[in-house]
Amino acid sequence: MWYARLFFSVLNVALCLVCVLAGIENDGLTSSHLSQERKVALTENAPLSLRCSSIKGSWCLDFHQQKEVPWRTAPRGAVECPDNCNNVGRCNYDTGYCDCPVGWSGPACKTRQKRPCTNTFRSPEDNRTEPTSHIGPDKRDLNWTEMGLTPSRCYGICDDDFGLCYCDGPMGRIPAPDDAPPGTPPIRRGRPLINLHDMPNTTYDGKPVPGGAQPYDNVYGPEGYCNVTNPKWIAGCGGPEDLNGKYCDEPNESFCPGGCSGHGTCNLGFCKCDEGYYGHDCARRKAGLPLLPSRLGHFPWVANQVHEPLAAMEPVPKLTRKRPLVYVYDLEPMYQSKLLQYRLASGWCTHRYYVKENETRFSEWCYGVESALHEYLLISEHRTFDPEEADYFYVPYYGTCMIWPVLHWADFPYFHTTGGPRILQVINMLVEIVEWIDKMYPFWRRRGGRDHIFLFPHDEGACWAPNVLVNATWLTHWGRTDLDHESKTSFEADNYTKDYVGWRQPEGFVKLISGHPCYDPVKDLVVPIWRPPQHYWRSPLLSAPAKPRDIFLFFRGDVGKRRTILYSRGVRQKIYKLAKDNDWAVKYRVLIGDGSDVPGDYSDMLSRSLFCLVATGDGWSARTEDAVLHGCIPVVIIDGVHIKFETVFNVDEFAIRIPEANASHILEILQAIPEAKVRSMQAHLGRVWHRYRYANLPGLASELRRHMASNFADPLSREAADLSASKEVRLPRPFKGDPAVDDAFATIMQWLYSRIPFTR
């Protein structure tokens, strides 16, 4: 068919442009044949006219041509904290404020802050009473047979700092004595019982237990998991992240942003800093103390992913550096690190996590940009510890972490109220954060918040951002532009236009968020979602064997079979029905449906597709990134919404827009596109695709290089390279530049530089 013949020649052109953009001749060498230094140099030294091609405006050129600023030695604080933070927290020597881990709060981390494994008694009248614990003083459930099902229900010994359940019995938990010094670890941590599927379904005498799924003997019988060294049945190891092994009781690494810089110890998201070091990532040392060598080298599995922050080094690593300079707040831990500690599923909440034997996995958590961007900034040369020279202030709150794995697991934490939609918790948290920043620092009011950056990766982005943030710079996944907007989610727990009035918040919450658009293209940026390398590992743009584009139009995902009409604004449902009723799969090679309709390797199928549907779900769609990263032309059917990077790239050069009203004509519209237009779009895709991936973190770049080398070693790829001079070749040449250059993070930084005058 014409589109298949067209694609093979066009994509070759597109990838040639990518190779030129990387400054590397298409000489058939694999990426492993080039030294790392040469690859980086070739990519970074490519002509700016090519590095900045397909760009709207001058932001890219302006960034690269700017006059660099002197790199100053970071200031170091010496303000003491009360009582050494009770030996459980860490002192911020800039502010004299104690950062407390889970289980502790207060000015000196002396107030106990419990999170019991509990199913609580409450008043039925709008939750007006405080929770009543169903856990006794011995940390055991008062009666297994009473009350209903809650996620944190524990049929063992509760760690009521974290809300984590452990075995009772010989392999179970033995807490530290009540009179032990603060922070004393348990005598024996024990084997975890995290999932209700791992809990017993009866008591020892056969009475039914709500929520339990395992026969009692599997857990507590003579050869049960909690009773013997080598049990017949083994519980699932779903968390916490710092325990792994066959029986889930072997110490394991856990994720902390920046890996505690090699100057601290990670406790499930909270860095306990070495003596004299401070900050969320333990990057800085108290004034007057000598800097010590980072211990990252002792933990290669961490050093492979991060490096010591450049901004903290003495002497400075270079004489000058490019702006923007970004100050990353060390927030009150309840807004960031405690939420990481409260998460129980290691693959949730973060862009990467550790599995057995401290191996790093890059998460499929689509909101992973929340932790990824935080970690990027911590080790980036754009970071500054001097707020007086900062162009921006980044606020690293973990809102999606609060919404998904933390909220409703136990009776804590909540922000002001336990009722209402989930996003209400984050709305209240954001209001609190601004109040906290304003109390601790003078920078919020200095420019009305314009130079403060907030990230909104939730489904409907910043549509529900509190009005107090309206002047701030928003990075969001949802570029909806209309001012008078209503929630279009099919998930009622995220409906931001349905007000909720509770006794703790009698004024409701809608008035706190009304009157602003979801996104302002003048001051905000729609950024790509997190996609790990394995998500696009079969892409020909990543050196995988290029295959015929034998799929004309492709979409695999939720097509609204069990959704309300609000979902996808009805677009996915309409196109799915047309494709099904008219046998488009057989007649036109149009594959539309969910996994049961369209089986197969997702990355492989995207790599074989000429056009890829991009339609909203409950909010933003991940399909723009999926299409671009595989060299597939995005077909966008979302009215009044900017797709990712639409204000910084000429997206009409590589994407097609169809009004929602014309969705039923998608097939005719695509079939009518001239061959020359398709060629042009493929070429422009080759110029920008690498800016839609996060690739600059050390571990990410290494993983991508490994995929590139492995893919190119495939015989089909070698055959494609051998045929590269032939007119008959229909395959794109692989990108050989370094993946750590000009990725999504670099694009965001370059755009932020252009916005500095507007924040003043």
Half-sphere exposure of 261 (CA within 13 A, CB side): 27
pLDDT of 346-355, one tens digit each? Answer: 788 999 999 9
User: How confident is the model at residue 18, as a pLDDT?
Assistant: 36
- Residue with structure tokens 């903290």? 312
| ω into 315 cis (within 30 of 0) | yes
Model confidence, pTM: 0.92
User: How confident is the model at residue 53, as a pLDDT?
Assistant: 84
pLDDT of 687-710, one tens digit each? Answer: 899 999 999 999 999 999 988 888
Contacts of 359 (CB under 8 A, 6+ apart): 301
User: Quick one: average pLDDT of 575-596?
Assistant: 98
**Of the segments 48-57, 76-85, 724-733, which one has the largest average pLDDT value?**
76-85
Does residue 27 register a pLDDT over 70? no
Q: Which amino acid appears at position 144 of this protein? A: W
For 581, the token pair is: 């009723």
Mean pLDDT across the chain: 89
pLDDT of 430-470, one tens digit each? Answer: 999 999 999 999 999 999 999 999 999 999 999 999 999 99
Rounded Cα–Cα distance for residues 364 and 602 (Å): 13
Does residue 91 register a pLDDT over 50? yes
Q: How many CB atoms within 10 Å of residue 187?
A: 12
Contacts of 607 (CB under 8 A, 6+ apart): 538, 539, 540, 544, 546, 547, 630, 631, 632
User: How confident is the model at residue 740, as a pLDDT?
Assistant: 82
- CA-CA distances (angstroms) from residue 210 to 137, 144, 191, 199, 449? 22, 8, 21, 10, 49
User: How confident is the model at residue 211, as a pLDDT?
Assistant: 85
Q: Are 78 and 94 in contact (CB under 8 A)?
A: no
Rounded Cα–Cα distance for residues 266 and 182 (Å): 18
Rounded Cα–Cα distance for residues 91 and 105 (Å): 13
Q: What percent of the chain has pLDDT over 70?
A: 89
Does residue 66 register a pLDDT over 90? yes
User: Quick one: average pLDDT of 596-606?
Assistant: 96
Does residue 34 register a pLDDT over 60? no
User: Minimal CA–CA distance to 756: which of 69, 51, 40?
Assistant: 69
For 231, the token pair is: 């049990």
What's the pLDDT band for 732 if we cut at 50, 70, 90?
A: very low
- Tell me the three state secondary structure of residue 141: strand
Does residue 560 register a pLDDT over 80? yes
User: How confident is the model at residue 15, as a pLDDT?
Assistant: 33
Strands (E), 515-671: 525-526, 551-556, 590-593, 609-614, 633-636, 641-642, 656-657
Does residue 124 register a pLDDT over 90? no
Half-sphere exposure of 529 (CA within 13 A, CB side): 26
pLDDT of 493-541, one tens digit each? Answer: 999 999 999 888 999 999 999 999 999 999 999 999 999 999 999 998 8
- Tell me the three state secondary structure of residue 556: strand
